Amino acid sequence: MDSTTPDKDREPERRAVSERAALDQRALHRSFLDNLLYVQGKFPRLATQTDYYLALAHTVRDRLMQRWISTAAAYTTQASRTVCYLSAEFLMGPHLGNNLINLGIYDTAAEMLGELGLDIEELLYQEEEPGLGNGGLGRLAACFIDSLATLEVPALGYGIRYEYGIFHQTLVDGWQVEKTDKWLRYGNPWELARPEWVVEIKIGGRTERYTDEHQRLRVRWVPARIVNGVPYDTPILGYHVNTANTLRLWKAEAPESFDFGQFNSGNYAGAVTQKIVSENLSKVLYPNDEQEQGKELRLQQQYFFVSCSLQDMLRILKVQGIPIDRFHEKFAVQLNDTHPSIGVAELMRLLVDEHLVNWDTAWDITCRSFGYTNHTLMPEALERWSLPLFERTLPRHLEIIYEINARFLDQVRLRFFGDEERLARMSLIEEHGPRYVRMANLACVGSHAINGVADLHTELLKQDVLKDFYELWPDKFSNKTNGVTPRRWIVLANPKLTSLITETLGDGWIRDLDQLRGLEAHVQDAAFVQRWQAVKRGNKAELAAHIGRRLHITVDPDSLFDVQVKRIHEYKRQHLAALHIIALYLRIKADPNADIVPRTFIFGGKAAPGYHMAKLMIKLITAIGDVVNVDPHVRDRLKVAFLPNFSVTNGQRIYPAADLSEQISTAGKEASGTGNMKFQMNGALTIGTMDGANIEIMEEVGAENFFQFGLTTQEVYAWQARGYRPMDCYEKSAPLREVLDLISSGYFARGDTSVFKPLVDVLLQYDPYFLLADFDAYLACQDEVSRVYQDQTRWTRMAIINSARSGKFSSDRTIQQYCKEIWTVTKVPVRLLTQEDVEADFMQ
């Protein structure tokens, strides 16, 4: 992995550091053995693979510490403007491999371990992945903080240290079963607890008005209970730079975790009640919120981490001696979707109630501090909370929101005189029927910038979801198309391709992905094309072996790997791909000698625990596989594999091996997508609708290098307006009828006609995501995919062009746009502290 070797211009710094932070093989060897003995307390004959992993992790963390402390010192000394990224999810993935690459010592560590008879790849897979996110939202946050560090931009990521992350998915008879994700079972070598920076969080209770000693009317929040927030910090190192920013995750604890009096009286359970209740706040990622208790816990979680984070920012202001009225000059606070939008009301409370800032000044500071990223066009994802729930949880915040709303609606009345319907739509309180607090509206009103995450998504926000706010404040709106980090998704995930590209172009592309354009000069080079094909074939063989071990399904690496891995949802339309498999299967049953291009269909993704239709979609896919994979007529031309428990780790296996990337959501439903970008970077071709970032991918690669099908957003709206009847599609399309009739017959359920009846009924009666309307076009497009795949030279050239033109979709580009157009922050290069610097600091 030549691209990870240390930069020559960093050698003087490397020589200047202490032995504990040295990066040469001898120093790594000594540190590894020290950590095995003195941290793990094991000698080699008793050590497990987990012990070896932890020893290596601590060895790497030692090297991060000098950069982390140097970064903190630089930011403190310079009082640098800092990006604070508030996100309910951070799906970081395993840290070890990423840190080895960013330090430039992956190969050195591999050689050191090899001399000890250890395999670095085996140790990498020992790491328990922190499942602190559900999907794209959390993974985007992870890519962003990677890019912020690589670009040397001062930043803090703020979130929740969930004790149990996203559930561990297993399949039992094809049905999803959720198991507890115990990612902390062996501890977390990457984090440091910071109990000295604990903050208090109030919940529930009531408010009181009183007059203070200066005769000022003030409000006091008298909470029902108090919870402590304890920060746990993880260093996030940039690629081949000294910058190591901080991911600060908050754990909930009770102020008094043990009631000695209750214990002595014999109430042993009551003695720890407060501990249990308080720790629930950071216990589980996204508790099931179908019940009122789940909704209340989720609101408390969101408030908990936002309040902790804002209070932490105020602490930093104090440490750096910055006046509170310059909060917005020190911090650029980004709301990653609506989950942290309570921050608008919380910052107002902290400024007005706790720091006695007058309302108008506090509101100016708040609006100039916050930016809001919207990630969804789905109405159900624009969070809202019932007034009774909100009031009993956050009584003071409801009063503040009422005041914000009254002043805001006065603005709207002046601008849109007499438009009462607009007032009702824009109000922070939903007045029609049961009353709710609208969190997206609060985020819009309290932020100076609002952005979507793909060109189409942003336009639809302006035209539909947030149209009223756009018409009031058009200058607030901009687009920031998402991106992903090439360090994890190419360099770490695809070392074979990394070596080929670096040998061809040099390693500058890792920090400037636009340099991949240089690959286009080699698309006619037969030798280069052959090497590219060998890389892809090798990756496919590795994934095929993994599928064989995991699922006991034999997969042909020369077949077309047709892949769809993402959260399971009806709008993402995994069941459209399932119908295509059945259509191909029916062709083979009608003619066992039919000329079918061999395909391996690979699925992965989790369904929300309470989302029955999504679980039924998983069951359908696995049921199809149970039939197709063993039917002798198929003769291995079709294989179906659903890889359970899709995660960052599994993604690193899958993206490099894919030939075809399925991005087939209903047009106008996917905000952006980032899986599509990971596939493209690794040389997969896309079959997709004109939705989310698919449009921009096709613009970059050219329509001739993209398989496009389906209704456009405008056509979807038109079909809705004139009254869409899915049964019409069923009646007009013979292939569609055959597919749905076969499912309805119970063929894939051992004759049980009831299993998939709910899914078929929804499609035929409602089909809210226009699956049947797109079915024939999708089949025709897939036939074109098969024709092109038969010409391997053409397919490979298209794949190279896709990878070569993926530069726009680096998260580095996205972050540069945020920095320039929303955050107004600049990079702060970090000089490594030496032992002399530390000793001198004692003398100050």
Q: Which positions are annotated as active-site residues? A: 375, 566-567, 572, 674, 678
Asked if residue 326 lies in contact with residue 82, where contact means CB atoms within 8 angstroms, the answer is no
How far lies 552's CA from each of 78, 531, 549, in Å? Answer: 57, 30, 6
Q: Are strands 217-222 and 206-211 parallel, antiparallel or unpaired?
A: antiparallel
Among residues 653, 247, 655, which one has the least CA distance to residue 484? 655
Three-state SS for 619? helix
The rounded distance, in Å, linking the Cα atoms of 290 and 813 is 39
Q: Which helix (H) or strand (E) holds 301?
A: helix 292-319
The rounded distance, in Å, linking the Cα atoms of 706 and 702 is 7
Among residues 289, 309, 305, which one has the least CA distance to residue 297? 289
Among residues 220, 202, 222, 201, which one has the least CA distance to residue 210? 220
Three-state SS for 526? helix
Q: What are phi and psi of 123, to 5 degrees?
A: -70, -35
Helix 612-628 and helix 574-590: axis angle, to 10°? 20
Helical ranges in 338-464 per DSSP H: 343-349, 359-369, 387-393, 395-415, 420-426, 439-445, 455-460
Beta bridge partners of 638: 599
b/e per residue 754-771 (b: at least 16 CB within 10 A): ebbeebbebbbeebebbb
In sequence order, what are the residues at sequence separation of 6 or more whose Cβ sits closer than 8 angstroms to the Cβ of residue 684? 563, 655, 658, 659, 660, 661, 799, 802
In sequence order, what are the residues at sequence separation of 6 or more whose Cβ sits closer than 8 angstroms to the Cβ of residue 99? 60, 61, 64, 237
In sequence order, what are the residues at sequence separation of 6 or more whose Cβ sits closer than 8 angstroms to the Cβ of residue 734? none
Three-state SS for 230? strand
Report which DSSP code applies to 240.
Answer: T
Among residues 190, 245, 27, 7, which one has the least CA distance to residue 104? 7
User: What does the H/E/C string look like for 741-796?
Assistant: HHHHCCHHHCCCCCCCHHHHHHHHHCCCCCHHHHHHHHHHHHHHHHHHHCCHHHHH
**Between the CA atoms of 153, 158, 164 and 167, what dihedral angle is there, to the nearest 10 degrees?**
-70
290 burial via Cβ count (<10 Å: 0-12, 13-18, 19+): exposed
Please give the distance of CA 91 from its chain centroid, rounded to a whole number: 5
The rounded distance, in Å, linking the Cα atoms of 238 and 101 is 10
Asked if residue 205 lies in contact with residue 223, where contact means CB atoms within 8 angstroms, the answer is yes
Beta bridge partners of 707: 687
Find tokens 């089909």 and name the residue. Answer: 767
The rounded distance, in Å, linking the Cα atoms of 39 and 53 is 12
Q: How many residues does the chain have?
A: 844
Q: Which helix (H) or strand (E) holds 28?
A: helix 25-38
Written as six digits, the tokens of 142 are 């992870």
Q: What are phi and psi of 599, to 5 degrees?
A: -135, 145
The rounded distance, in Å, linking the Cα atoms of 314 and 404 is 22
Find tokens 């979807």 and name the residue. Answer: 716
Report which DSSP code applies to 5.
Answer: S
Taking the alpha carbons of 568, 167, 658, 454 in that order, is the dihedral positive or negative? Answer: positive
